[in-house]
Amino acid sequence: MNRYPAWLNGLIAVVVLIGLIYTIPNFFGESPAVQVTPAKATAKIDPALLEKVEAAFKKENIVLAGIMSDERGVKARFANTDTQLKAKDVLEANLGKDYTVALNLQSRSPDWLRNWFGAKPMYLGLDLRGGVHFLMQVDMKAVLKKSVEGYVSDFKSSLRKERIAYTRVSNEGQEIQVRFNSAAELEKAKTLIGKNYSNLTLTDTALGEEQVLKATLNLVEQKALQDAAIKQNIHTLHNRVNELGVAEPIIQQQGADRIVVQLPGVQDTAEAKRILGRTATLQVRMVTAHGMNNGARDYDQQKIDAAVNGTVPAGSELLKVRANKAGFEEPILVDKEVVFSGDNLTAADPRPDSQSGGTVISIRLDAKGATAMKLASKEGIKRRMAVVLIEKDQQEVLTAPEIQAELSSNFVITGMDNIQEAQELSLLMRAGALAAPMDIVEERTVGPSMGQENIKRGVHSTLWGFAAIALMMMIYYRAFGGVSVVALAVNLLLLVALLSMLQATLTLPGLAAIALALGMAIDANVLINERVREELRNGNTPQSAIHAGYDRAWDTILDSNVTTMIAGLALFMFGTGPVKGFAVVHVLGIITSMFSAVLVSRAIVNMIYGYRRKVTKLSVGQIFKA
């Protein structure tokens, strides 16, 4: 009756073992460390970087506590902060300006936990680790205005091409106005624009003797533009924050038009502001010479060889195209004269190519950029055009496609291997500047000592709460209370393991949710224990009382936890910031408590009283008969 099958006991043992493995890294603490990352966001990690760092430390007799390399760079740990500061100076002297060296903190957990199981500690939020918090407001009106400006030149070109007479095309805020002298011309224009621009809402009105056609972005297009602006700004901020070397920055959207930036471990607010406000520039220039003999007009291997050897023609610059899959960086000569810059870019979006089956990037320019592009492409057919990203006085050619025909405000860039590459490149092309201006509306700095105090108090409150619950349960329910305490410990173990496996960021509200989860989790065991007592009072045998107690308490446990989980999910869906962090821990705590309170505690009780043993008395506290 009170017996689990072997597979279920095995499952419980495996789950507890996994929980133990993924909880352990959280107990090793953190060591002073330095983090080495490329200075350019688009640069790839040099496979030999780890060896360079180790060689620099060996030369200066710097003792390492540990070192690792990943896709973001190299991280080295040290025994104390003095060694950490010395190591930073050594690396800055040896690696030069190509890499950024930043102070950081790294987990002391053994490498085998990370390498064999991928076990990592939870990330600590700003309030626990200290750092800088910014709340940034995105100017959505500027996003819509910038998009509308790009349509003015498009309308003019389309109307001239169809020989539709108009008097003026202008943008008034977030609205484009086209004026006509006759209603017939307005109707022609309305039909043409409505056919070619389905994302616009058209209305017409009379203004004196003039007929005015008004075009505004429809709600769907406005929402798409605003979402794209938020996404682009977040991507740009991520690129800029990389320079700070922050291990786990939190950059996420809050509401419809705000971005939260949290930089744990950063204490220099001025430096953080400088990085977040850093500018990068996108430029498009004509290629004057390259070494790809594919029939293009600007092929000239002799010029390339001479430039590589130091003889660069006047008016040109020697740059390199971003490395391909094979790691080859093609040298090309690029004209210093700029055709257009990122300021003229109104859209850069990846989309599938129906003709080739591959992926292209659709580009749209404003009026100034379209005019320059039309002239340059008309004279440069069968020449290559370079898209150059300039950041921190460093220049890199993202792509250099060949011009196949005359281009204007709308054109595509081909040659993408897949949709992922096209998405990445389109974001980089827009990352020369933010999609919309942002203002810092809230700024906070949390000191590391305050973070340590928060951790100390949070852990103490959880441990004292656990101890109080354990003492009460064992006094009141005796052996069954002890089983409940073990199940509660397993619940805490599994909750911490889940947070570590999900690489969740633990904040102060999260610590409060853990303490609350312990108090709520014991409720299920109280229901079970009381139900067992009731069955014994009704005259059932001990084995029957255990079986009925767990079986009949299950419905009540399920109902109470489901209703509580619904409240937690609502907090997660509609809450922001600390509220959402609390909700995550709260919901996970409910899941682990149901597993531990029912399955784990029943398995322990089965081992003590089950397996067809003759039990005459249960240690479940004082039983009062009516």
pLDDT band at residue 574 under the 50/70/90 scheme: confident
Residue 572's domain is classified under what CATH number?
1.20.1640.10
Whether residue 258 sits in one domain with residue 244: yes
The answer to whether residue 616 sits within a structural domain is no
| Tens-digit pLDDT profile for residues 542-560 | 889 998 999 989 989 999 8
Tell me what the pLDDT averaged over the chain comes to: 82
Q: Which residue has the higher pLDDT, 433 or 365?
A: 365
Neighbouring residues of 595: CB distance < 8 A, sequence distance ≥ 6: 15, 491, 494
pLDDT at 411 over 70: yes
Q: Are residues 266 and 309 in the same domain?
A: no
**Residue 12 covered by a domain:** yes
Indicate if 242 and 306 belong to the same structural domain: no
> What's the rounded Cα separation, in Å, for the pair 481 and 462?
19
Is the pTM higher than 0.85?
no
Let me know whether 292 and 326 are in one domain: yes
Residues 300, 322, 345, 362, CA torsion sign? positive
Instruction: Please tell me the predicted confidence (pLDDT) of residue 494.
Output: 95
- Co-location of 269 and 291 in the same domain: no
Decide if pLDDT at 612 tops 70: no
Q: Is residue 216 part of a domain?
A: yes
Does residue 243 sit in the same domain as residue 95?
no
When mean pLDDT is compared over 157-161, 260-264, 474-478, the highest value belongs to: 474-478
- Is residue 240 located within the same domain as residue 149? yes
Among 229, 261, 279, give the residue marking a domain's end. Answer: 279
pLDDT for 151 equals 80
Work out the average pLDDT over 37-59: 77
626 pLDDT tier (thresholds 50, 70, 90): very low
Instruction: Determine, yes or no, domain membership for 117.
Output: no
Whether residues 81 and 147 share a domain: the answer is: no
How confident is residue 532, by pLDDT bands cut at 50, 70 and 90?
A: very high
- For residue 548, the number of C-alpha atoms closer than 13 Å in the C-beta half-sphere is 16
CATH at 339: 3.30.1360.200
Residue positions counted in the chain: 626
235-249, 265-279, 436-450: which has the minimum mean pLDDT? 265-279
135 lies in some domain: yes
Residue 231: closest CA among 44, 443, 436: 436
Q: Has residue 345 been placed in a domain?
A: yes
CATH code (residue 264)? 3.30.1360.100
CATH of residue 52's domain is 3.30.70.260
Range name among 174-178, 437-441, 478-482, 526-530 with the lowest pLDDT average? 437-441
Say whether both 161 and 225 belong to one domain. yes
Contact (Cβ atoms closer than 8 angstroms) between residue 94 and residue 56: yes
Total number of domains in the chain:
4
pLDDT band per the 50, 70, 90 thresholds, residue 425: low
Q: How far apart are CA 507 and CA 509, in angstroms?
A: 5
- 558 and 479 within one domain: yes
Write the DSSP string, 357-401. Answer: SSEEEEEEE-HHHHHHHHHHHHH-TTSBEEEEEEETTEEEEEE-P
Amino acid identity, residue 121?
P
Indicate if 147 and 236 belong to the same structural domain: yes
Domain containing 507 equals 6-23+447-609
Q: Is residue 164 part of a domain?
A: yes
Query: Does residue 113 form part of some domain?
Result: no
What torsion do the CA atoms of 278, 260, 69, 388 make, to the nearest 10 degrees?
Answer: -30
Q: Is the domain of 224 the same as that of 330?
A: no
